[in-house]
Amino acid sequence: MKERIYHIFEISDANWELIESQLIGQPRQHGGIIKCNQKLVDAIAWILKTGFLWSDFTPDYGKLGTVHQRFIRWQQKCMWKKLFEMRY
């Protein structure tokens, strides 16, 4: 099996497993479920780590409107704060 090589801004599968169950938008929760939360987290990390403007968003990570809207919703629900405060 070929080992996956991660882009500098992508979360590893091991780290993903640590946070996945904590995210909003899981099955049986109110609200829409994004097709791939891991890709969404990677997209937001790309924006935050590069310092690019949302208008410079790359379509490699999906639709700008979807990613931006989810970023704002998670921010309003303190999801990012919760993730950063998690202890591993």
Q: Is residue 25 part of a domain?
A: yes
Q: Which domain holds residue 81?
A: 13-85
Residue 6's alpha-carbon distances to 14, 40, 50, 51, 79, in angstroms, are: 12, 15, 16, 20, 24
Tell me the per-residue pLDDT of 33-83, one tens digit each, with 9 for 90 and over: 555 788 888 888 888 888 889 888 888 888 899 889 989 988 999 988 888
Q: Alpha helices of 1-88 — where are they, by DSSP H?
A: 13-19, 37-50, 64-76, 79-85
Q: Is 63 exposed, middle or buried (0-12, 13-18, 19+ CB in 10 A)?
A: exposed
User: Which of 4-8, 21-25, 37-41 shows the highest mean pLDDT?
Assistant: 37-41
pTM of the model: 0.72
Q: Is residue 4 part of a domain?
A: no
Q: Is residue 6 part of a domain?
A: no
The whole-angstrom separation of Cα 17 and Cα 25 is 15
Q: Is residue 5 part of a domain?
A: no
Q: Is residue 38 part of a domain?
A: yes
- 27 pLDDT band, cuts 50/70/90, is low
Q: Which residue has the higher pLDDT, 81 or 86?
A: 81
Q: What is the tally of structural domains in the chain?
A: 1
Q: Is residue 41 part of a domain?
A: yes
pLDDT at 78: 92
Q: Is residue 18 part of a domain?
A: yes
